[in-house]
């Protein structure tokens, strides 16, 4: 019996989740809410990347026995390859849980099989978020996890690979450190700047698909204390990596290194974003019940931009247009609902051609009740 079949049978028997075209995933945790009975309401959005069908999303479990009413309410496909080739897709699922804060941490976890075929030969994957349940002395609130995501499919010609900036925004102003997961198999000649959260290279990277399993952790930027429901408290020093992080969340994605192309000049074969496009890491604002719009514009003079790949919230629409000069534009529109209040929504996008794609840019959309002048 082949190894892949054995893995599928094993995950089925253990109740795990499996798909043959897992491209990666990300988790976004909404700021925790305190219920009147002292419990905590945890809401998180899970984006899963794949190839043909992304709607068969996985279900998380709560570790430590502190959870009740763990409910995955719905999963919607939010983006897909519209070329007819079914090369990539992404879905977003919403899960809520009630947590008894009788401990100091809260953990959600899921695992499954199988990663898309890759150079490293990795098959199984694990998604996880660990959140400290102490009240912070600087904000008198519970900690908020770093915000991150990627588009479903990243493609870069071998001779053009330089770096991939990863979104790592912290709503509390904490210091975020990115690192490879301890159990991860790090692809050869790839490097990771833990402070800038940027994937780079040290030498030539091999063509083919590579998979990456990262951990994003936040540490306070000043000395704080954390107080728990049992009355105990602990201190956390400024960026003290010897102490546990306030939150630890996984980010998993794949990168396809393509054969070399004729030129790496941005705006020629490789699409280049133009000035109308938001900068990477920018924080934008949206208001309840009002349509939020994001404009992105790119140009590729020696190739044709056919679409934009977008990682965004459910019900975000795209309006694409292109002209004969090689320019293309997308208008992303989204109207936040009451359930989106206080969300910090990651949005990433790339301009796509048949050969390759632009750099990935990501922003954070902060949802508030009132209009904020940007």
What does the pLDDT read at residue 192?
Answer: 98
Count of beta carbons in the 10 Å neighbourhood of residue 139: 13
The structural domains of the chain, ordered by start, are 3-260 (2.60.40.60), 261-374 (2.60.40.10)
DSSP 242-256: TSPPSEEEEEEEEEE
Count of beta carbons in the 10 Å neighbourhood of residue 82: 13
What does the pLDDT read at residue 71?
Answer: 84
What does the pLDDT read at residue 6?
Answer: 39
**Cα 199 from Cα 211, distance rounded (Å):** 12
What does the pLDDT read at residue 55?
Answer: 72
- Long-range pairs for 108-112: beta carbons < 8 A, 24 or more residues apart: 108/27, 108/42, 108/44, 108/60, 108/61, 108/62, 108/63, 109/60, 109/61, 109/63, 110/17, 110/58, 110/59, 110/60, 110/61, 111/16, 111/17, 112/11, 112/16, 112/17, 112/18, 112/19, 112/22, 112/58
**Cα 40 from Cα 49, distance rounded (Å):** 29
What does the pLDDT read at residue 64?
Answer: 67
* Opening angle at CA 334, ends 362 and 364, nearest 5: 25
Peptide bond into 114 cis (omega under 30): yes
Do 126 and 250 contact (CB within 8 A), yes or no?
yes
**Cα 145 from Cα 27, distance rounded (Å):** 10
From 209, 169, 279, select the one nearest 51 (Cα to Cα): 209
* pLDDT in 10s for each residue of the chain, 374 residues: 344 433 433 343 334 444 558 999 999 999 998 888 889 999 999 999 998 777 776 688 888 667 878 888 788 899 998 877 778 899 999 999 999 888 889 899 999 989 999 999 999 999 999 999 999 999 999 999 999 999 999 999 999 999 999 999 999 999 999 999 998 999 999 999 999 999 999 999 999 999 999 999 999 999 999 999 889 999 998 888 888 999 999 999 999 999 999 999 999 999 999 999 999 999 999 999 999 999 999 999 999 999 999 999 999 999 999 998 889 999 999 999 999 999 999 999 999 999 899 999 999 999 998 765 55
What does the pLDDT read at residue 126?
Answer: 94
Do 215 and 228 contact (CB within 8 A), yes or no?
no
| Cα 204 to Cα 156, 198, 207, distances in angstroms | 13, 17, 9
| Cα 253 to Cα 19, 48, 84, 163, 315, distances in angstroms | 15, 10, 23, 15, 23
What does the pLDDT read at residue 374?
Answer: 54
Looking at the DSSP bridge assignments, the partners of residue 17 are 112
Looking at the DSSP bridge assignments, the partners of residue 253 are 24, 212
What's the CA dihedral at 364, 141, 335, 154 to 10 degrees? 30
This prediction has a pTM of 0.92
- Give the residue carrying structure tokens 């954390």: 226
Locate 240 and state its tokens. Answer: 């003290």
Do 201 and 190 contact (CB within 8 A), yes or no?
yes
**Cα 312 from Cα 76, distance rounded (Å):** 11
Looking at the DSSP bridge assignments, the partners of residue 90 are 49, 79
Count of beta carbons in the 10 Å neighbourhood of residue 186: 14
What does the pLDDT read at residue 9?
Answer: 38
Alpha helices in the chain (DSSP H): 3-13
From 168, 51, 34, select the one nearest 101 (Cα to Cα): 34
**Cα 21 from Cα 57, distance rounded (Å):** 12
Do 225 and 243 contact (CB within 8 A), yes or no?
no
List all residues 6 or more positions away from 155 whose beta carbon is below 8 Å from its beta carbon: 255, 256, 258, 356, 357
């Amino acid at each position: 019996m082949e190894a892949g079949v054995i893995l599928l049978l094993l995950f089925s028997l253990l109740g795990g989740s499996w798909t043959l075209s897992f491209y990666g995933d990300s988790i976004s945790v909404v700021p925790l809410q305190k219920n009147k009975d002292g419990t905590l309401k945890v809401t998180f959005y899970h984006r899963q990347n794949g190839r043909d069908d992304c709607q068969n999303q996985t279900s998380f479990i709560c570790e430590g026995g502190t959870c009740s009413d763990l409910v995955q309410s719905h999963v919607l496909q939010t983006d897909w390859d519209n070329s007819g080739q079914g090369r990539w897709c992404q879905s977003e699922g919403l899960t809520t849980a009630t947590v008894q804060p009788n401990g100091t941490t809260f953990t959600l976890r899921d695992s499954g099989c199988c990663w898309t075929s890759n150079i490293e030969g990795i098959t199984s994957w694990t998604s996880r978020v660990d959140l400290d349940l102490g009240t912070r002395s600087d904000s008198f609130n519970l900690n908020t996890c770093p915000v991150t995501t990627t588009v479903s499919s990243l493609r870069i010609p071998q001779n053009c690979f330089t770096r991939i900036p990863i979104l790592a925004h912290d709503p509390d102003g904490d210091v975020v450190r990115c690192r490879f997961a301890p159990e991860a198999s790090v692809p050869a000649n790839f490097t990771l700047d833990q402070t800038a959260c940027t994937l780079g290279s040290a030498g030539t990277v091999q063509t083919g698909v590579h998979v990456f399993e990262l951990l994003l952790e936040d540490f306070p930027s000043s000395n704080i204390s954390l107080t728990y429901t049992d009355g105990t408290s602990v201190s956390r020093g400024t960026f003290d990596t010897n102490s546990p992080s306030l939150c630890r969340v996984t980010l998993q994605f794949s990168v396809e290194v393509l054969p070399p192309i004729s030129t790496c000049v941005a705006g020629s074969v490789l699409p280049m974003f133009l000035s109308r496009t938001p900068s990477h890491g920018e924080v934008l604002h949206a208001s309840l019940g009002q349509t939020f719009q994001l404009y992105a514009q790119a140009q590729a003079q020696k190739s044709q931009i056919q679409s934009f790949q977008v990682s965004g919230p459910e019900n975000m629409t795209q309006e694409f247009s292109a002209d004969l000069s090689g320019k293309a534009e997308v208008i992303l529109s989204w109207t936040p609902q009451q359930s989106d209040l206080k969300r910090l929504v990651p949005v990433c996008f790339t301009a796509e051609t048949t050969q390759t794609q632009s750099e990935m840019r990501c922003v954070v959309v902060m949802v508030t009740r009132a209009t904020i002048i940007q």
